[in-house]
Amino acid sequence: MISLQHVTKIYKGQITALDDVTVDIDKGEFVFVVGPSGSGKSTMMRLLLKEEQVSGGAIFVAGKNLEKLTPWRVPYLRRNIGTVFQDFKLLQDKTVFENVSFALDVIGKQKSVIDQRVPEILDYVGLGDKLNNYPDELSGGEQQRVSIARACVNRPLVLLADEPTGNLDPQTSVDIMRLLDKVNRIGTTVVMATHDQAIVDAMRRRVIELEDGHVVRDQARGVYS
């Protein structure tokens, strides 16, 4: 599903964020990417979304070589990748329903599809009764659920989560992890960058550890360190 082959990323010709990284992630896997700040986790995420270009090596997502992807094809790549962030990135002037439907609206989905899928996915993430609330009326955990619903409503092949529990308390984080696990179990490949040791240790999934842009550990059913 995702394949990084000898990927190097150098910013402005001098700061090396990733150095000769080779990683293969299969369809349906759940992978933690761990490592200290500045180890290259976020850069990896950005490269997978083609927000940045690789400096060397090649990246394949869902069988497509990202380097050969023309700019106008990039949006179609992103429709296959859901994204979840630490800060939720919800629109405060839109309701829960609108925040999720927005993702389908802007890629030109029919209203009938939207009216069917949005309540369905919100029900799935446990917010079936909050469709008309605004983000500031929700708890942090609920807001993150909305953002997961938005990421999954178009049924992506891959879900990228960048520190999704970074702003949440431990109990809420566990709930969010249960939800991501649920999303993973229906076949979505999940890649999650995190600092959260307790969660990584509890989940016992594949762990890829980065340090100074190198892969220093790639372990099935691993722990944080």
Partner 1 sequence: MVRLDYYFRETVTGLRRNGLVVFAAILTAFIALLLLGMALLIRREVDLIVANTTGRVEVVVYLADDIGPDQQDRLNGILSELSVVSQVDYESKEEAYERAKELFGPDSPIIANVGPETFPASFRVKLSEPEDYKVVVATVENEPGVDEVNAQQEFLDKLFALTSLFRNGVLVLAFAMLLASAILIANTVRMGLFARRREIGIMKLVGATNWRIRVPFLIEGVIEGVLGAALAIAILLAAMVIFIEPLHDSVTFVPWIETSDVLVIAPIMVLGGIAVSFIASLLAMRRFLDV
**Burial of 139 from C-beta contacts in 10 A (0-12 / 13-18 / 19+):** exposed
When asked if residue 155 is in the footprint of partner 1 (CB under 8 A), the reply is no
Instruction: Report, in Å, the least distance between residue 74 CB and partner 1.
Output: 5
When asked if residue 77 is in the footprint of partner 1 (CB under 8 A), the reply is yes
CA atoms within 13 A on the CB side of 149: 29
When asked if residue 103 is in the footprint of partner 1 (CB under 8 A), the reply is yes
Instruction: Report, in Å, the least distance between residue 190 CB and partner 1.
Output: 17
Residue 65 to residue 148: CA distance in whole angstroms: 26
User: Helix, strand, or coil here: 143?
Assistant: helix
When asked if residue 72 is in the footprint of partner 1 (CB under 8 A), the reply is yes
Q: Are 165 and 176 in contact (CB under 8 A)?
A: yes
SS3 percent helix, strand, coil of the chain, rounded to 5, is: 35, 30, 35
SS3 labels along 20-50: EEEEEECCCCEEEEECCCCCCHHHHHHHHCC
Instruction: Report, in Å, the least distance between residue 113 CB and partner 1.
Output: 11
Q: Which stretch binds partner 1 (CB under 8 A): 77-85, 166-174, 188-196, 199-207?
A: 77-85
When asked if residue 154 is in the footprint of partner 1 (CB under 8 A), the reply is yes
Mask of contacts with partner 1, 13-52, x by CB under 8 A?
A: ------------------------------------xxx-
Instruction: Report, in Å, the least distance between residue 14 CB and partner 1.
Output: 23
Residue 50 to residue 54: CA distance in whole angstroms: 9
When asked if residue 67 is in the footprint of partner 1 (CB under 8 A), the reply is no
Cβ-based nearer residue to partner 1, 6 or 79 = 79
Q: Which stretch binds partner 1 (CB under 8 A): 39-47, 103-111, 133-141, 186-194?
A: 103-111
Q: Are 222 and 204 in contact (CB under 8 A)?
A: yes
Using CB under 8 A, list all residues that contact partner 1: 49-51, 71-72, 74-79, 83, 89, 91, 102-103, 105-108, 110-111, 150, 154
